[in-house]
Structure 1
Amino acid sequence: MSEDEKKKIRVMLVDDHFAVRVGMAASLKFEEDIDIIAEAGSGEDAVKLFAEHKPDVCVMDWRLPGISGVEAVQEIRKDHPDAKIIMLSVYEGEEDVFRAMEAGASAYVLKSADRPEVIEAIRTVLGGNKYLPPILAGRLADRMTRSELTSRERGVLDLIVAGNSNKEIAAKLGLAEITVKQHVSSVLDKLNVQDRTQAATAAIQRGIVHLE
């Protein structure tokens, strides 16, 4: 291996759309010290290929067939705790950023980002640092100040967003209606909103619930 090859940043790309991977690879190859050493189209393949190639940096899409990008990050970091993974996503809600960083991602970059920003993220995480665009860093800071929703509260919130009444939620979750009311009250308090409509809006805007 030549000295030039040794100095190159070995990058793995993960996206389920072939055209996206081709475009990203072509863009990154403008950087002389970046080498695309592997590509994956699913979370499962990403876990396998990371173990095989051990890239310096992995750029991973959030939305993948099978396990999600966040789940793939968690799986990779079980065996490779020092893995440097950049989460690439169309989601810009604070909950999305929080979940990715909590899973072990080193950076979170929007898919709308230009090439210089992606390059900056790669070089930043390679140096052992975290990378977040300023607007997302601010949202993450806001998210860190609020209490975590429990899994039950998340389930209730999902059904609120879907337009269910307390009675309907109680029937679907097998709970007493008074218990549902208590969960709804807790959800409103944790989201710092006044009513169910505001809760549904906040859940979507913050990335707690995704409307596919």
Structure 2
Amino acid sequence: MYRTGSSLSDFEDNNKVLAKKTKIVMLARADLLAECLTQAISTRFQGHEVVSLSEADSLLDGNLEDVALIMLYRIPASTFPSVIRTIHEFHPRASIGLVVENADELDSSIAGFVDEGLIHGVLPLNLHLDVCLTAIDLLMKGGEHFPAALLRRLAPRSPTGSTLPAQRDTCAEAMAPAQKSDIGRGLLTTREIQILDLICMGTQNKIIADRLGLSENTVKVHVRNIYKKMNVRNRTEAASRYFRHDGDAGPPRWRN
């Protein structure tokens, strides 16, 4: 009887090991928004363990293993560099997402970490919750998510010191074709330009499909064609190229 009980206990222990969940860590100063976002993440990603931390030193806890994503919110700029170093040293496989109030007003020292590729995503608070959770899912799968406003700030500067290209509206319909740079060797259709503009605004495929009256599969096909024509691998690279003139680009050419 005792041997049988021991075997069942071992079986249960083994199952607990097999059922071990990867972790999503929310490192934030406690406030209502952090609590609500943590709850939303817990509900959406039930296959993961969500851990709330208020102190960066808690990242050094030896029991904090199998971390897939670390979300940062309201981290002081003065301590931000040490937090990033700690994450990369102790949780090198974890993606890093930064929740900010306004991408336009992101501290320049923090924006530098984005420019260096040390942060994998930036999520402004004005994102719709569904879009925010989709972006978090993208980060956990090794992708990146950056708002267009931040990418414009990080765009290369001309010898005169002005950002390239000049400030513009984000909607394709509001822009004259002559204001757009030639992107890649292929020519983007009007529909692809519309989708690219929405991509640059951080809009996910499902939302793009709904906004343009297309199926999500159709949007995915357009996105693949955009990547191919622009010779880029992901949304970040596409947006980055869209906000600057390529040195070898010819005159603007767009087709309907």
State the TM-score, normalizing by the size of structure 1: 0.54
Q: 1:106 aligns with which of 113, 120, 124?
A: 120
**Partner residue of 2:170?**
none
Q: Does 1:61 align with 2:70?
A: no
Q: Does 1:130 align with 2:138?
A: no
Q: Does 1:39 align with 2:52?
A: yes
Structure 1 CA distance, aligned partners of 2:136 and 2:37? 13
Structure 2 CA distance, aligned partners of 1:31 and 1:67? 30
> Partner of 1:130: helix, strand, or coil?
coil
Q: How far 1:75 sits from its partner (Å)?
A: 1.9
On the 8 A contact 1:109/1:132 being kept in 2, the answer is yes
Change (3 A) 1:138 1:65: closer
Q: How far 1:15 sits from its partner (Å)?
A: 0.9
On the 8 A contact 1:43/1:64 being kept in 2, the answer is no
**Partner residue of 1:74?**
85
> Partner of 1:52: helix, strand, or coil?
coil
Structure 2 CA distance, aligned partners of 1:127 and 1:50? 24
| Structure having the larger proportion of residues in helix | 1
Change (3 A) 1:96 1:50: farther
For 2:145, the aligned partner's letter is Y
On the 8 A contact 2:95/2:140 being kept in 1, the answer is yes
Change (3 A) 1:19 1:120: same
**Partner residue of 2:60?**
48
On the 8 A contact 2:99/2:123 being kept in 1, the answer is yes
Structure 2 CA distance, aligned partners of 1:99 and 1:77? 16
**Partner residue of 2:32?**
19
On the 8 A contact 1:90/1:111 being kept in 2, the answer is yes
The alignment covers a number of residue pairs equal to: 146
> Partner of 1:56: helix, strand, or coil?
strand
For 1:115, the aligned partner's letter is L
On the 8 A contact 2:38/2:50 being kept in 1, the answer is no
For 2:69, the aligned partner's letter is V
On the 8 A contact 2:27/2:70 being kept in 1, the answer is yes
Change (3 A) 1:92 1:51: farther
> Partner of 1:53: helix, strand, or coil?
coil
For 1:85, the aligned partner's letter is I
Change (3 A) 1:37 1:146: farther
Q: What is the CA RMSD across the aligned residues, in angstroms?
A: 3.4
Runs of 4+ in 1 over 6 A off after TM superposition: none
> Partner of 1:81: helix, strand, or coil?
coil
Q: Which runs of 5+ in 1 are unaligned?
A: 148-188, 193-212
On the 8 A contact 1:108/1:131 being kept in 2, the answer is yes
Q: How far 1:127 sits from its partner (Å)?
A: 1.9
Q: How far 1:145 sits from its partner (Å)?
A: 3.4
Structure 2 CA distance, aligned partners of 1:139 and 1:85? 20
> Partner of 1:26: helix, strand, or coil?
helix
On the 8 A contact 1:17/1:41 being kept in 2, the answer is yes
For 1:89, the aligned partner's letter is V
State the TM-score, normalizing by the size of structure 2: 0.46
Q: How far 1:138 sits from its partner (Å)?
A: 3.0
Q: Which runs of 5+ in 2 are unaligned?
A: 1-14, 164-256
